[in-house]
Copies of this chain bind each other. A is one copy, B any other.
Amino acid sequence: MVASERVTLVEVGPRDGFQPIGPHIPTETKIAYIQRLFEAGVRRMEVTAFVSERAVPQLADAAEVLAAAQALPGLEPQVLVPNQRYCEKALEAGARFVAFVLSVSEKHNMNNVRRTPQDSVEEYRGLVGVLPEGIRLRINVATAFDCPFDGAVDPKAVIAMLDQVVPICPGAEISLCDTTGRTTPAQVGALFTEAIGRFPGVKNWVFHGHDTYGLGVANVLAAHGAGARIFDSSFAGLGGCPFAPGATGNVATEDVVWTFERMGISTGIDLERLLDAAEQALTIPGASAGGRVRNAMHSRRCAQELA
């Protein structure tokens, strides 16, 4: 293991994690978590989404949250947008990094953004056409492995989708998302290997996974083995998918940090500070936490305090 090896974690708790929580989280609480995560060393974060307030009332305070995140020196906050209209709102609010979401699976795309995948591709084309210079861009390719409605997704369909979207903006970061947590390391490794080989011009590949079936970290490592160096994760394992019954949260940031650091791969994140934020997150009304390291280290930290 090369000592200088490092990976980048994108903390998606404030968006993916907070989004499914029913009771409104006060805006200042959200901002306080973003601040704490930043102080733990997080330098990339999906801080909110610009989406329909009716569909996702929890994120109605997107502009205010984004402004607070932009004020943290060195933090690169990204915001999720489902279409060109909300992308414009995000830009008006000062966003400098937008993440456009579309799904390979038609049924999931219809449920998630109310249009066909093909319409989302055209939406993306339009969005790229009017994006001001200097704004960073990511595509979140949802259901890249498995769909809550249709089950396994054919890797050929994912590649066909990439064949369409990559040329539209070759500099965009691309996140292949395991929306349901039902994919396996073998599938993750195979798809990343194929995609990275096929699109050598894409510099930033991301894996976004859930831990619903206990494969969160294993899938992260499979993506890493195939060449991905950026990983989405959520502190305290917050998150979930509104369309996947039983789906639990994103892979926990603390589990990913613990694993990479244990393997000699730097994440730049201070695990102790991160754990403080994760334990605090359990107090958010309506939050449902996951991950394993938090519990393991909690007992250990209590034992140290008693010793």
Please report A residues at the B interface, Cβ cutoff 8 Å.
Answer: 1, 181-182, 184-186, 211-218, 221, 245-248, 252, 255, 258-259, 262-263, 290-293, 295-300, 303
A215 and B292 CA atoms in complex are apart in Å by 9
Residue of B nearest to A146 (CB): B262
B246–A213 CB distance below 8 A: no
Task: Please give the count of copies of this chain that the complex contains.
Answer: 2
**Contact sample, A vs B, 11 pairs, CB 8 Å cutoff:** A1-B186, A182-B262, A186-B263, A212-B292, A212-B296, A213-B255, A213-B259, A245-B300, A247-B296, A248-B296, A290-B292
Q: Would A184 and B263 be within 8 Å (CB), given that A214-B217, A214-B293 are in contact? A: yes
Instruction: Say how far A245's CB is from chain B's closest CB, in angstroms.
Output: 4
A213–B292 CB distance below 8 A: yes
Given A213-B296, A215-B217, 7 new contacts (CB under 8 A):
A214-B293, A215-B218, A217-B218, A218-B221, A246-B295, A246-B298, A246-B299
Partner of A216, one of B214, B246, B262: B214
Residues of B within 8 A of A255 (CB): 213-214
Instruction: Say how far A225's CB is from chain B's closest CB, in angstroms.
Output: 9
B246–A303 CB distance below 8 A: yes
Instruction: Say how far A253's CB is from chain B's closest CB, in angstroms.
Output: 11
A215 and B216 CA atoms in complex are apart in Å by 9
A299–B213 CB distance below 8 A: no
A292–B214 CB distance below 8 A: yes
Residues of B within 8 A of A185 (CB): 218, 221
Residues of B within 8 A of A292 (CB): 211-214, 248, 290
A128 and B121 CA atoms in complex are apart in Å by 68
